[in-house]
């Protein structure tokens, strides 16, 4: 099979890249070893978060957030996005102090999307919060989307524009011969001028085939979801200094995250849960929101996710090969970035450059460091 671009990995980054490329008239094939959205893209917490981003990521994340606001219309498919804001709760003066330091830094850089709120505004926006909490910080544009739906929406939008998605297709070999990349899949052979590596937790293996080394590690962030509860929290909720993270969807179910990690068994395509860490997340959630004592947990799971040592993604051209690009290692916060990542990669593929400063995301940024 032949195309201008071969995207490896049918997660949300790969599907978004295919969408932006196809929109510019580029022919593109996405190969996915399982099915599109099978791993981190389909089973993450769905947070669409600009709040609290690393300074290096803010410009990308901010643009992406603007794209989310009209994404359903742009794609012509439902991502389940709801803009209900995100609040990180402060429990004491130390938390408020940390928020103030962050705000000063943000203001100095010219950013105004994060705003400190006092206790009364917190109680107003989250009437069920533990009254001992003292305030927090809010980002109004934030919200959530439904992970599998959002990934499927990008995929279908890309397909509407002529992109091809080949599932159950693992890339076994990849070689650059002359001006083309030759890829050997389990089912087919592919030929493309350009390859884009969006292989998520498996991206280090694809990077190796391309010729780049990368210190990628894996983990299995765990999530649990409750049976429906009466609506009690519209914003997405986090905390300044505690492992608290949950959102109540419109259907009433409450998704609890918080970053606790289970066990990642990449070789077997599986994860295992660490129940004592999930128990801790339960305790924290009920401590902040006593109504959660009435919750029943319906499902628990973990997704395989790739992490970089600095928790920043790899985004940009390969260093040891021509016409190859990377976008992976989002370290459990890449879902929100997908719209802009697809745009950046399409710009790199078609024009050779991006309007964003991608130097913090270079794949070789750890080459000289001892980790």
Residue ranges that bind other proteins, judged by CB under 8 A: 35, 37, 42, 123, 127-128, 131, 148-149, 152, 156, 226-232, 250-252, 270, 272-273, 275-276, 278-280, 282-283, 285-286, 291-301
Smallest gap, in angstroms, from Cβ of residue 275 to other proteins? 6
> How many CB atoms sit inside 10 A of residue 201's CB?
25
Smallest gap, in angstroms, from Cβ of residue 215 to other proteins? 30
Residue-by-residue DSSP string for 182-214: EEEESS-EEEEEEEEE--GGGHHHHHHHHT---
Burial class (CB in 10 A: 0-12, 13-18, 19+), 244: buried
Nearer of residues 42 and 185 to other proteins, judged by Cβ: 42
Nearer of residues 36 and 86 to other proteins, judged by Cβ: 36
81 contacts: CB under 8 Å, gap ≥ 6: 48, 68, 71, 72, 143, 144, 145, 150
Nearer of residues 252 and 351 to other proteins, judged by Cβ: 252
Burial class (CB in 10 A: 0-12, 13-18, 19+), 242: middle
- The answer to whether 118 and 87 have CB atoms below 8 angstroms apart is no
Nearer of residues 82 and 176 to other proteins, judged by Cβ: 82
Smallest gap, in angstroms, from Cβ of residue 135 to other proteins? 16
Residue with tokens 């959530």, as numbered in its chain: 144
Nearer of residues 42 and 52 to other proteins, judged by Cβ: 42
- Please give the Cα distance from 221 to 274 (Å, whole number): 10
Smallest gap, in angstroms, from Cβ of residue 148 to other proteins? 4
DSSP state, residue 365? T
3-state secondary structure of 99: helix
Smallest gap, in angstroms, from Cβ of residue 124 to other proteins? 12
Nearer of residues 171 and 254 to other proteins, judged by Cβ: 254
Smallest gap, in angstroms, from Cβ of residue 213 to other proteins? 33
């Amino acid at each position: 099979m032949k195309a201008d671009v071969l995207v490896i990995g049918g997660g949300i980054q790969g599907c978004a890249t295919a969408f932006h490329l196809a929109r510019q008239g580029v022919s593109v094939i996405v190969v996915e070893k399982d099915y599109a959205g099978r791993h981190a893209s389909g089973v993450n917490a769905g947070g669409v978060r600009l709040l609290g981003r690393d300074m290096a990521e803010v410009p990308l994340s901010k643009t992406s957030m603007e794209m989310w606001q009209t994404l359903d219309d742009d794609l012509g498919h439902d991502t389940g996005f709801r803009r209900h804001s995100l609040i990180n709760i402060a429990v004491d003066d130390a938390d408020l102090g940390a928020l103030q330091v962050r705000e000063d830094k943000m203001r100095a850089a010219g950013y105004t999307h994060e705003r400190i709120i006092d206790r009364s505004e917190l109680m107003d926006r989250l009437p069920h919060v533990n009254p001992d909490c003292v305030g927090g910080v809010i980002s109004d544009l934030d919200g959530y989307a439904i992970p599998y739906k959002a990934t499927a929406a990008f995929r279908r939008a890309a397909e509407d524009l002529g992109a091809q998605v080949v599932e159950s297709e693992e890339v076994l070999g990849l070689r650059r011969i002359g001006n083309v990349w030759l890829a050997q899949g389990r089912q087919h052979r592919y030929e493309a001028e350009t390859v884009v590596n969006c292989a998520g937790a498996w991206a280090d293996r694809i990077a190796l085939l391309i010729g780049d080394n990368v210190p990628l590690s894996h983990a299995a962030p765990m999530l649990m979801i409750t049976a429906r509860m009466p609506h009690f929290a519209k914003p997405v909720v986090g905390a300044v200094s505690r492992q608290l993270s949950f959102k109540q969807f419109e259907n009433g179910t409450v998704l609890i995250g918080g970053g606790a990690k289970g066990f990642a068994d990449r070789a077997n395509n599986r994860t295992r849960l660490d129940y004592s860490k999930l128990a801790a997340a339960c305790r924290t959630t009920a401590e902040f929101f006593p109504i959660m004592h009435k919750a029943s947990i319906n499902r628990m799971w973990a997704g395989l996710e790739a992490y970089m040592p600095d928790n920043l993604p790899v985004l940009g051209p390969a260093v040891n090969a021509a016409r190859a690009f990377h976008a992976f290692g989002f370290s459990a916060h890449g879902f929100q970035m997908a719209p802009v990542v697809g745009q950046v990669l399409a710009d790199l593929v078609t024009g050779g450059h991006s309007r964003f400063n991608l130097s913090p995301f270079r794949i070789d940024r750890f080459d000289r460091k001892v980790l």
